[in-house]
Structure 1
């Protein structure tokens, strides 16, 4: 076994490897960028070294700098994690040439499997079913257009060297192909350094099933059963689970055997994932399965496999890389219970899932136990930067069967709260209760087709009971603050210290105001000490609150005689109320305000929705543009954002060029008034 390893990655996977290495008595070396100087993987490793600037190209993609640190520190092996250089065959070879061990497959195996095109040809030759498509070397636009027309529509354009949903487009007609090809190639070039694409027939309403495989250098190979990842948005996995509620035992066995056959065919060593799409028959039952791609690394969703098998896959990676044989045979692999994983992201689902950044002012996650696991690379007070994936944590749950696991997931999400950048927690709560998830019928395109079922309307109203509870919580907090202030004063018995809201002329009325999704809510209240009359909720009659009492994060009360209990979280200028099924987040604001005249016109400007880098400028001063016409494309958090003209007009100024870094809300294009 190794005595010291270097981790060529960041975030939760780096922290995960550090934990396993420590369990095995292995010392760890971390590398980090200037943006990650205070990151958790830096703090948790035994040693850490800065290797460059904040952009991945300046740090985590610098294989030479990473190898130099390994040699300097005496590390014997390099764990690439997932992402960055984990599927880079040249890096794997460079690690071996430097006399170090790459904890993963060889560069030769990676070249066969890392290219989607090459892997697809290999599987076809091996007899594994593949979707009709084009994987040729000729990448000229004319050839690709001709091949696409021959395959037929709808079809998928995919980055040949990509992953994680980047560099993928669905094209539904010949006329749409050229524009989608250009966008896909540009995204692939920026994310992976290569813009080669492959084309394949798009299977409508497919299920996404992946098989975890493992192989050692002694000729042993096996699979650890499947994970279903059909809940996706724009090809990004949203919920993963094992076992799949869709597969039959016969299909599970056939797919497992096909995955092992693929691993053996290319002398694969270490952890890998063979991904398939499974068609559906008219009755909703499984149809045929087709090879999709092979990932030559550990996957983000590997914890669900660990929870149902009881195995530590990172430990297996380390042992196999050190030359040991696989510790179990195929017959020894158990499958116990059901596990589900979701990813908590700093993103705004109500704004098209725009990635967010900023300091995590509050990060409340459920306590880990036998049923709940948290994998995270950040803690409260850390910052989510614009340079990397905005994932905050992975939330994984386990129980004896799927209904119980779903109940665990809902409870764990209800205990989660994130303040600072916006998050997808509420979106995940809706997802975990949706019939397509509960019934196990979701396909890979369902979220994109029915997103309105998971994201509330932009100006949707607040639930009345939740709003009453938030108001009650604020009233109790005000009274508590008044009592505390009085107790610390020189005259604690003063009548002005009585926290009943009474003031000369208005008999105890207090008014409160909140912001909810940009909308202002104003309420009038009467009463004190847990008994109130609250007015102003839409057209409803005044509500009567009695018996309100707070104990920790729990608020119990009676609403018009109905006894209820809620969870209430307050921090700074934010209050979150949860009834066990849904949540309401509000920002308390001053009751009285000065209305501002609307000075400039937002219809005359195109601004950056978040910090990022300009990748394409499509307009110049003097150009005539139409409403909705793309004028610029920026890249932030590994994602392209298209910026469009707010109205028809003439471009007056273009204030950024390709390659420029821009701040959030910066004016990038101005139209003539």
Structure 2
């Protein structure tokens, strides 16, 4: 086992990894920008190293600075958290060249799944169901129009290197194709340096269902059920739950086995999430995230496992501590993402926290790096906390979420807490009757903003 690991991230996910390491008796190293000198992850780690100025490019994305921090502190492995360098295959290769262990999948697997076309082709070959669409990239508008006619409108044009909702445009009819195609290419070029796009059938009322997988890199892999992440705004998840309210035990077992078998076949190591659109009882692969997800706590809640601990174990060469037969669902879990944003525009709202009180009680978990007097810097993502609840069933989990939201106090900045108070008054949310378009339609009607 490792003696010391470095966490190449910040905020609540850095705290999450530090806690797991401490329970395992492993020393932790926090890295931070000058803007994060007073951050909680810096205070809680055993050691800390400043790696640059506030800009992410000069700090959390600076590979030389992070490698140097490992050499200075003697850290043997790096946990990337999510975001930043977590899915950067080049970073993983550099760590290997320096004799450092990346707590995550191989560079090859990150590279395969990071390219949407290659990922789709790979999954097809592994027997994972995919959305009908183009075979690879679509070079010209004429090709796009031909494919649109072949698979039928509406279609969605996606940047090959896209993510986070960028480089994705819908063409409802043939008349929309030119605008959608050119815009998706332009966004791909400006955001990712790659203007290649591909086309898929656009499902009208799907749910977003993702399967948590875990492999040991030795040909063994399991699935840990699904999460429903359908409540989204501009392709960004805001409310996640497990198990999915629309998924049957038979469907879970079927798609879960397909995913676990696929990961075993490629000797995948560590945590990963295979994301699907789900409509009319069918699953359609859209992408794989080769890292820990923001919403991983809901899976931990219903299975009683520590995914970060397991990541560290398998990276150190140990076998998984559980088998598929060991994994039994217990109850229901829900997570809501608390952002420092001003409603109804959802504009970032950095500033000083004048009062912070985390909710507690049975079945309540608050993952946050906030504290009284902390100043949220304006340079990074606006996520400031994740409220996770667990209950014996979905109604109990919803009731617990409602109670916990009432206890949560974040003063000094605007947050998205009022959004969740409002959503818990909606019948569709309470019954689980929603799809990936529901929230944006609701926001247009209730907040005048989508």
Q: TM-score, normalised by structure 2?
A: 0.94
Deviation, structure 1 residue 418: 2.5
- Equivalent-residue separation in structure 1 for 2:25 and 2:108 (angstroms): 31
Written as runs of structure 1 = structure 2, the 5 A alignment for 1:418-567 is 418-452=410-444, 454-455=446-447
- Which residue pairs with 2:348 in the alignment? 355
- Which residue pairs with 2:44 in the alignment? 44
Written as runs of structure 1 = structure 2, the 5 A alignment for 1:54-453 is 54-134=54-134, 136-137=136-137, 139=139, 143-144=143-144, 147-148=147-148, 150-185=150-185, 187-188=187-188, 191-192=191-192, 194-280=194-280, 287-351=281-345, 353-367=346-360, 369-452=361-444
- Equivalent-residue separation in structure 1 for 2:194 and 2:351 (angstroms): 31
Q: How many residues align?
A: 450
**Structure 1's 373 and 185: CA in aligned 2 closer, same or farther, altered over 3 A?**
farther
Q: Secondary structure at the match of 1:298?
A: coil
Q: Please give the per-residue CA displacement for 1:140-196, whole angstroms capped at 9, x wherever unaligned.
A: 566556545554432223333343334333332344444444554555456555454
Q: Secondary structure at the match of 2:388?
A: strand
- Equivalent-residue separation in structure 2 for 1:151 and 1:179 (angstroms): 19
Deviates further, 392-401 or 41-50: 41-50
Written as runs of structure 1 = structure 2, the 5 A alignment for 1:591-606 is none
Deviation, structure 1 residue 240: 0.6
Q: Secondary structure at the match of 2:344?
A: helix
Deviates further, 57-66 or 158-167: 158-167
Deviation, structure 1 residue 318: 0.3
Higher relative contact order (CA closer than 8 Å, sequence separation 6+): 2
Deviation, structure 1 residue 206: 0.2
> Is the Cα–Cα contact under 8 Å of residues 52 and 58 in structure 2 kept in the other structure?
yes
Q: Please give the per-residue CA displacement for 1:67-110, whole angstroms capped at 9, x wherever unaligned.
A: 12112211100111111111111111111111010100001111
Q: Please give the per-residue CA displacement for 1:284-332, whole angstroms capped at 9, x wherever unaligned.
A: xxx2111111110010000001111111000000000000001111001
Q: Please give the per-residue CA displacement for 1:190-221, whole angstroms capped at 9, x wherever unaligned.
A: 65554543321111110111111111033211
- Equivalent-residue separation in structure 2 for 1:186 and 1:46 (angstroms): 45
Deviation, structure 1 residue 125: 2.1
> Is the Cα–Cα contact under 8 Å of residues 242 and 339 in structure 1 kept in the other structure?
yes
Deviation, structure 1 residue 453: 5.1
- Equivalent-residue separation in structure 2 for 1:343 and 1:23 (angstroms): 26
- Equivalent-residue separation in structure 1 for 2:173 and 2:59 (angstroms): 40
> Is the Cα–Cα contact under 8 Å of residues 344 and 395 in structure 1 kept in the other structure?
yes
**Gaps (5+ residues) in structure 1?**
281-286, 459-640, 642-673
**Gaps (5+ residues) in structure 2?**
none
CA RMSD of aligned residues (A): 2.2
Larger radius of gyration: 1
- Equivalent-residue separation in structure 2 for 1:227 and 1:44 (angstroms): 30
Q: Please state which structure has a larger fraction of its residues in helix.
A: 2
- Equivalent-residue separation in structure 1 for 2:142 and 2:240 (angstroms): 38
Deviation, structure 1 residue 391: 0.8
Q: Please give the per-residue CA displacement for 1:579-630, whole angstroms capped at 9, x wherever unaligned.
A: xxxxxxxxxxxxxxxxxxxxxxxxxxxxxxxxxxxxxxxxxxxxxxxxxxxx
- Equivalent-residue separation in structure 1 for 2:197 and 2:327 (angstroms): 37
- Which residue pairs with 1:541 in the alignment? none
- Equivalent-residue separation in structure 1 for 2:32 and 2:139 (angstroms): 36
Q: Please give the per-residue CA displacement for 1:556-595, whole angstroms capped at 9, x wherever unaligned.
A: xxxxxxxxxxxxxxxxxxxxxxxxxxxxxxxxxxxxxxxx
Written as runs of structure 1 = structure 2, the 5 A alignment for 1:573-588 is none
- Which residue pairs with 2:29 in the alignment? 29
**Structure 1's 167 and 44: CA in aligned 2 closer, same or farther, altered over 3 A?**
farther
> Is the Cα–Cα contact under 8 Å of residues 127 and 262 in structure 2 kept in the other structure?
no
**Structure 1's 16 and 185: CA in aligned 2 closer, same or farther, altered over 3 A?**
farther
Q: TM-score, normalised by structure 1?
A: 0.64
> Is the Cα–Cα contact under 8 Å of residues 112 and 266 in structure 1 kept in the other structure?
no
Deviation, structure 1 residue 384: 2.4
- Equivalent-residue separation in structure 1 for 2:289 and 2:19 (angstroms): 23
- Which residue pairs with 1:671 in the alignment? none
Deviation, structure 1 residue 40: 1.5
- Equivalent-residue separation in structure 2 for 1:228 and 1:119 (angstroms): 21
- Equivalent-residue separation in structure 1 for 2:369 and 2:191 (angstroms): 22
> Is the Cα–Cα contact under 8 Å of residues 220 and 325 in structure 1 kept in the other structure?
no
- Equivalent-residue separation in structure 2 for 1:230 and 1:69 (angstroms): 39
